[in-house]
Structure 1
Amino acid sequence: MAEPSRTQYQHFVPQFLLRNFSHPYRPQKGDRKKQKRSKRKDEKRIYPGERVVNTLDLSEDPPVLCEARVNRILGQMDMYRDTNKPSLEQQHIEQMFSRLEGQASTVFRKITKAFEQKEQGLWLTREERDLVRKFLFLLKYRGSTFHRRFYHDNAERYEADDRELLWEYMAEKGFKRPTDVWFDNLRTIMELSMDPEGEWLEDLPKRMFFDDAMWFIVHAQCMYMAICTPSNPSDEFILTDNSYNVFEGPNCFVTDKNTGKVEGGSHTSLHEFAPISPKLMIILRSCVLPVPEEDANPEMKEERDLWHSMTLDRVYDWEVKSLLSDLPIAKARNNYSEIVNGRVQLNEDEDGKRRKDHKFCFKYFPIDTKHVHIINGVFLQNAYVCSRVVFGTKDNLSRTLQAHLTAPTNIIIGDDADLRLQFLKKLTAVSKSLGSEKESVWREEPSPEVRDYEGSRLKILEMRRFCSKMIKGDWEDDADNEFMQIYKSLGGSKGTLLVDVDQAGLMWKLRVKIDTWSQGLDESLRHRNRLLLIESYLRLPPCRVWLFVKHIRLAFLERSMGFETEINFGDYFQEPENIIAKASHIIKPERLAQLIYKATLNDLKLKEQPEINLWAKINKLDIYGFKQIKLLRLLNSSRPEYIRDCGIDEIEQLARNQQLEVLKEGIQNREASGYSILEEGEEIELLTRIRIRSKFVKVLSGKLELSLLKTLKEVFFEIVFPTPT
């Protein structure tokens, strides 16, 4: 009979890093007997000379300042134990961690040793750099936050906002527990070979849970690494349970009007952190932020401006400014390029391909007290779920707490606002006990409200599901795939999908670039440029235009989810462009793309101003009446403007007939309609639409299945050609 696997205390912060924060334990002076027990454990169960760290124990109330053994802190019993395996194999994940830590510790020791020897920096090979990048992600992904996310025995207990995607993945791969997915993802990343050619970028999303694979790719490819040290000798970095799992950047919460529950909204990581010692910190900076030597190249600057716009400007209602925007760090230099006149230039013998023999020089960037406090403040802001704060000296901890508690960035918001507030009060008590006389500062803010958060969450999952299938190339050509049904109805095929998806993405990028390039110009000129671009797009195949408008809808969804207070997501999900596509066989080809675009744009315009009753009687031009007319004209500003040009033969003929009837009735009857404040052509068009609306289903009877025909009527007269009832 196999011997049961022994219970282990398993660290989520490796001991080789904790030792950099440690010192030998020295018992407090006491009676002679206690001093003579040099080889026995004292009352704290710590040997004299054993490595310990200074720590603030947050599990106590009030928190306690004490020392803790390196081998019994920032971990928990059997954290990575796989109970589905035979006894002797249950610690296989921990064993893999041990091997990887052995490899990584060599590189980290190289970093700390060069610093101790007062070097200005050090060179790492591409392989060493990639090992560090992989290890930093694993420090995040293996930590307590993800243990809480994944460590469940059944799928129903998994509550993260991507739960439906995880359940689908579990069913596809045959996993029974979320824990199995976590272990498999960890194993896949640890075994990953990051070849210089980049083949791993295509391979990884096919080998593990897609969302987390893409997260690793962004972490490794879309952020650059720098090493920082305090310029003031008395400053130190602290360490918490989740230091490797927090970020600096916008992080928003919303309240679901339907449930009253506070949920996570939009968030963007601009900086991430990896404490190495009290004097060394690895910082990862997002590549959306400026890189002067690269931005000297106009093409690279355009690409970065576009990325910045798509990542920040189009998501948040304010100008996002990082707390660490002025942090004095830069990309590592390398042995395959040089900076000439402020611009990066490849060496003569280089062709731009990545090679194993490339090396990178990482400087030790000195940062001032302000930046050290901001970084430590980010850790403390997120430490309300932590068990420990590890620090160097009490004096430094006192300064760190005081700086954090008096900073204007302490905002109490989110689904755990009560815990955050309670934690700030705990830290205040600790700060007072260390001698601070300053009052703590914080403010409580309510979360913006949205309607039907659950619906918006599911819609985002649908978009992510689409991205997963697109990148992995595993579209199924079957009757149950509604996406492919719609795409094919517009003239697409499985063979054209990837090209159209790629081209639609480029169309959206160019649309964003037009706005970016023209900032500061007269708004009428900017509007004209947009119209010219869209007009050229609408001459493309309708299936590609349909994919393009999905980018518009996703950008609107990302923006609306966090900051609009009156968005009805339940209506939003009907996606009128899909209804137009399903009826495409009765629509003239030359009008189809126009209708798809207009259906999407009008739908979003209406949802941006839900407070306006478009058909309230307009008798005088007050502010509200002005908004009504402005919105009505905006909805009718793109082609087709008139229902007589809608692209459906039967409706076009009916419209021409009904328009003649309206003209025969004369101006007096039209004034009685209640829209006399509109221009004559606008009145005639509205009255024509009213007449057609009542006849729409009858005229097209037999052309479409009845339920689709009724839905198409709603799309036509409520969105594409807005018509009063």
Structure 2
Amino acid sequence: MMRSAPNPTFEEKEQYHHYIPRFVLRAFAAQPQPSYDEPTRPVKKKKKQRKKKPAKIAAGDAEDPKGAEDDSPDEAGPSNAPKEPESRVEMEVVKDKGKPKPRRPRFDPAMDPYIKIYDLESGVLDFGKVGRSYGIPDMYKDMDHERAYHVEESLSKLESDAARIYHRIKKDHESGKYKFSITRKDRNVLRKFLFVMRYRSHKFWSKYTGTIDTYEHNDRHLLIEFLKERSITDLRQVWLLGLEVIVKTEIDADGEWLHTIGREMFPADANMYVFHMSESYMAFCEPQSPEDEFILTDNGFGIFEGPVVYDTDNLKSTGADGSSPQLKDPAFTEFHKLAPLSPRLILVLRSNFLRDGPIWEKRKKVFSEWKAWPKADSLLQDLPIKPPEVRYWLLPRKSKAVHTLEDEFSFEIYKVKTEQVYVINALMLQEAVRSITWASDEPLQRSLNAFLRNPNFMLEVSLSVFPEFTPRIALRYQKQRLLSLLDKPYPTEEVRPLEEFNKMNENLGKNPYLQPYYKFGGAPELFRYDSHQAFLLINFRSFVADHSGSAIPWRNKVNKATIKFMSTFHPRIVWFHVKIWNVTANRLRKGLEFSPVTEEDFGVLTGSGPEDLIANLVDFLPFRLLSRLMFETSLKDIHRLDSREKLTAQGVSGEKLEAQMVFQEMDMMKQFGGFGGSWSLVGTPYHFEPVNFCDPFGPDIPHELLYEYFKRDLLLRYNLRGNIEKIILGTRGTPEAYRRLSQLLWDHLYPIPENLFN
């Protein structure tokens, strides 16, 4: 489609474009309407009542122009000009009645009523006019077209056709009828309009408002190709083009529209549209109880019901490189699509896979075997709906019925139980991201309570720790808060939980005990994810220890493999892990492993350990060794403390105690692996590393040979004490860095008594 260059002189007054049509919003008008004092529309004067404007008088004119009217109320003397009859314009008097006819209000309450709107961003509950709700200024404005509002004009025609069908169905429903018929043509209009409602939602509008550089959706490669093919530089044009093609392409009975859509639209969106038009059947429902009502949300016409599965074991980014952990796009199944038409009527599109019949059961079985197909049932599986009955027209000279636009679809409005209404509303509440609207408070209150209690709509811990789910946590808080606002005067007080989360993160960033964590690349927004991963590592270690058998050689290999695997995690996660590990070890040492965890147990976390020294040396130590160093120093500290207590209890003390403590570390190296003293001496004449002590798959080292290796390594460390620091730090070292490294090496990694070799 050809696009003309923007016209710099072209200007139009801003228009408010709805993404939920006004004819639907009016159905959710608040009852009763608030009694605000609306400004009245000025009474339009009749032609004879309008005063003539005074003619302009030239500077030298001495007399008033003929026929001019004296409008000055302060003029003292009478005018010489002939007077015209006074016009009474204050009010119109109805003949034969003494009362004046009231002025028309500026706003027609029937066409522009108030609706209740709960703003999920600000937390404000207030009334809003239908005319200025659920829309975006100049949403469909096309600055690259000579008629900037050509898309809006096309949409208005489709909306008018949909409104005609909607009002007919709504009128029949409100009159007590539970069956109605529409032609295939009208059914196609409704289905097309439902897709347009989804496609013009804030979600899709915002998807196409950025640039291709910031576009992160999984169809990016297709979009790049489409942009090149059509010579489009503005993503917004892809969306506007899609809207225009959908609206202007008639759904014909022969299927020619499929070729047009596939040829003109962005392929990913075209496929989505075709899928929408063909993969489901349409049905209508109303609450069985007169006390129940459906609600409306900002994305209420783009919500589907079906399992959504995130693969938390196969991430897009694990965060191992220091970046934020990130999930891949989820796998999902659209069993039902919802479209609330009024508080008492909802349109449902049910997937053909939920149809009755052998062919559909067979297809569902085939698809369920696909790895990408989420294996879960529908929450609305028991919704009592069926496909409409179709009456086909037999065309002349045709032996069997064929599809025509005049085919008649007979629908029934099905009654749904209260529990099913709650699930439908819960789906709407779960996905609402901007605003919620409803007609009556009591039904909403019951639906909100059901939503908050339903485990199907609670965020799993494995997902809640990802930074991208923080906004959803804030939104859930806002929805819960709505319960406390229903009896408050409008507008309610503003509360922004996402901003509160940000403030909490700011305070978390200032926490003195977490500064070492931040030096490893941690951040407040990563806190929940990293701490969760750290706890998972605790559970992993416990599981491995419980299932590694009793054979010592095998357990040693398992221990080495476990430490080696966990050392691949990012240092910021390992820092958390060793902190929690210290809490657990401290409770075990005190015999409190079966006692409830108290706040006192976590006092260990405030103390400084070798992991904190490593954090302060992060600029001087090889990054690949940071996690391993934290594991090894913490492991040695814990075992050292246990061994010292046991040996002291046996009466061992003094130099004998210190000597035994040193050689016990050889046994630890045999069990868990570890660094020899030469890890920091690579490239120097002092380097000595005959075997990889950390390798879990190498052959077992005989005890005598291990003793010789350990003794030689110990002597090397003893002789180079004070110099290893200089080798590691080089010219970059500061006195503070030297002090910390010395403390790490000789107090935690390789503690050697001064008189060991005397």
Q: TM-score, normalised by structure 2?
A: 0.50
Letter of the structure 1 residue corresponding to residue 479 of structure 2: L
1:17 and 2:17 aligned: no
For 1:200, which of 221, 236, 257 is the aligned residue? 257
Distance 2:32 2:483 in 1: 25
Aligned partner of 2:281 in structure 1 is 224
Distance 1:356 1:426 in 2: 46
Distance 1:25 1:69 in 2: 14
Distance 1:91 1:48 in 2: 26
Call closer, same or farther: CA 1:306–1:201 in 2, change over 3 Å: farther
Aligned partner of 1:722 in structure 2 is none
For 2:155, which of 78, 97, 100 is the aligned residue? 97
Aligned partner of 1:358 in structure 2 is 407
Give the conservation status (yes or no) of the 8 Å contact 1:46–1:69: no
User: 2:346 is paired with a residue of what secondary structure?
Assistant: strand
Give the conservation status (yes or no) of the 8 Å contact 1:253–1:264: yes
Displacement after TM superposition at 1:263 (Å): 2.6
Give the conservation status (yes or no) of the 8 Å contact 2:393–2:406: no
User: 1:81 is paired with a residue of what secondary structure?
Assistant: coil
1:376 and 2:425 aligned: yes
Distance 1:325 1:15 in 2: 32
For 1:367, which of 395, 416, 440 is the aligned residue? 416
Unaligned runs of 5+ in 2: 1-7, 43-104, 320-324, 489-527, 533-758
Displacement after TM superposition at 1:28 (Å): 4.2
1:331 and 2:392 aligned: no
Q: Deviations over 1:276-334 (max 9, x none)?
A: 1111110000001132xxx1xxxxx23x2343134333236874210000000000012
Give the conservation status (yes or no) of the 8 Å contact 1:225–1:331: yes
Call closer, same or farther: CA 1:269–1:6 in 2, change over 3 Å: same
For 1:79, which of 139, 158, 179 is the aligned residue? 139
1:256 and 2:316 aligned: yes
Call closer, same or farther: CA 1:25–1:374 in 2, change over 3 Å: closer
Aligned partner of 1:533 in structure 2 is none
For 2:474, which of 411, 414, 422 is the aligned residue? 422
Distance 1:417 1:60 in 2: 15
Aligned partner of 1:289 in structure 2 is 354
Letter of the structure 1 residue corresponding to residue 29 of structure 2: S
1:314 and 2:374 aligned: no
1:275 and 2:340 aligned: yes
Runs of 4+ in 1 over 6 A off after TM superposition: 37-40
Distance 1:48 1:245 in 2: 30
Call closer, same or farther: CA 1:311–1:335 in 2, change over 3 Å: same
Aligned partner of 2:4 in structure 1 is none
Letter of the structure 2 residue corresponding to residue 323 of structure 1: L
Letter of the structure 2 residue corresponding to residue 54 of structure 1: I
- In the TM superposition, 1:453-492 aligns within 5 A as none
Aligned partner of 2:449 in structure 1 is 402
Aligned partner of 2:173 in structure 1 is 115
- In the TM superposition, 1:149-228 aligns within 5 A as 149-152=207-210, 154-228=211-285
Call closer, same or farther: CA 1:202–1:91 in 2, change over 3 Å: closer
Q: Deviations over 1:426-456 (max 9, x none)?
A: 22222144489xxxxxxxx999x9xxxxxxx
Aligned partner of 1:52 in structure 2 is 113
Displacement after TM superposition at 1:113 (Å): 1.0
Give the conservation status (yes or no) of the 8 Å contact 2:30–2:116: no
User: 2:328 is paired with a residue of what secondary structure?
Assistant: strand
Give the conservation status (yes or no) of the 8 Å contact 2:337–2:348: yes
Displacement after TM superposition at 1:164 (Å): 1.2
Displacement after TM superposition at 1:200 (Å): 2.1
Larger Rg: 2
Distance 1:64 1:167 in 2: 40
Distance 1:13 1:131 in 2: 16
Q: TM-score, normalised by structure 1?
A: 0.53
Call closer, same or farther: CA 1:228–1:2 in 2, change over 3 Å: same
Letter of the structure 1 residue corresponding to residue 368 of structure 2: L
Letter of the structure 2 residue corresponding to residue 98 of structure 1: S
Distance 1:310 1:211 in 2: 24
Letter of the structure 2 residue corresponding to residue 11 of structure 1: H
Displacement after TM superposition at 1:157 (Å): 2.8
Give the conservation status (yes or no) of the 8 Å contact 1:133–1:220: yes
Displacement after TM superposition at 1:419 (Å): 1.4
Call closer, same or farther: CA 1:426–1:264 in 2, change over 3 Å: same
Aligned partner of 2:595 in structure 1 is none
Give the conservation status (yes or no) of the 8 Å contact 2:367–2:373: no
Displacement after TM superposition at 1:354 (Å): 0.9
Letter of the structure 1 residue corresponding to residue 377 of structure 2: K
Give the conservation status (yes or no) of the 8 Å contact 1:24–1:52: no
Call closer, same or farther: CA 1:323–1:59 in 2, change over 3 Å: closer
Q: Deviations over 1:346-398 (max 9, x none)?
A: 9x986242122210001111111111111110111111x21x21101111221
1:244 and 2:301 aligned: yes
Aligned partner of 1:577 in structure 2 is none
Letter of the structure 1 residue corresponding to residue 380 of structure 2: L
Q: Deviations over 1:583-605 (max 9, x none)?
A: xxxxxxxxxxxxxxxxxxxxxxx
Call closer, same or farther: CA 1:78–1:318 in 2, change over 3 Å: closer
1:67 and 2:127 aligned: yes
Aligned partner of 2:670 in structure 1 is none
Instruction: Number of aligned residue pairs: give it.
Output: 408
Call closer, same or farther: CA 1:46–1:109 in 2, change over 3 Å: same
Give the conservation status (yes or no) of the 8 Å contact 1:327–1:367: yes
Distance 1:177 1:323 in 2: 40
User: 2:483 is paired with a residue of what secondary structure?
Assistant: helix
Distance 1:95 1:38 in 2: 30
Displacement after TM superposition at 1:159 (Å): 2.3
Give the conservation status (yes or no) of the 8 Å contact 1:53–1:390: no
Distance 2:19 2:374 in 1: 37
- In the TM superposition, 1:573-588 aligns within 5 A as none
Give the conservation status (yes or no) of the 8 Å contact 1:38–1:48: no
Letter of the structure 2 residue corresponding to residue 236 of structure 1: E
Displacement after TM superposition at 1:3 (Å): 5.2
User: 1:10 is paired with a residue of what secondary structure?
Assistant: strand
**Once the two structures are aligned, what percentage of the paired residues are identical?**
29
Call closer, same or farther: CA 1:349–1:336 in 2, change over 3 Å: farther
Distance 1:192 1:117 in 2: 34
Displacement after TM superposition at 1:244 (Å): 0.8
Give the conservation status (yes or no) of the 8 Å contact 2:120–2:479: no
Give the conservation status (yes or no) of the 8 Å contact 1:270–1:322: yes
User: 1:16 is paired with a residue of what secondary structure?
Assistant: helix
Call closer, same or farther: CA 1:53–1:327 in 2, change over 3 Å: farther
Distance 1:272 1:257 in 2: 31
Letter of the structure 2 residue corresponding to residue 431 of structure 1: L
User: 2:246 is paired with a residue of what secondary structure?
Assistant: helix
Unaligned runs of 5+ in 1: 296-300, 339-345, 437-444, 450-725
Q: Deviations over 1:49-74 (max 9, x none)?
A: 3633432422454x233211000000
1:391 and 2:452 aligned: no
Letter of the structure 2 residue corresponding to residue 196 of structure 1: A
User: 1:256 is paired with a residue of what secondary structure?
Assistant: coil
The two structures, once aligned, show a CA RMSD in angstroms of: 3.1
Give the conservation status (yes or no) of the 8 Å contact 1:20–1:276: yes
Letter of the structure 1 residue corresponding to residue 455 of structure 2: P
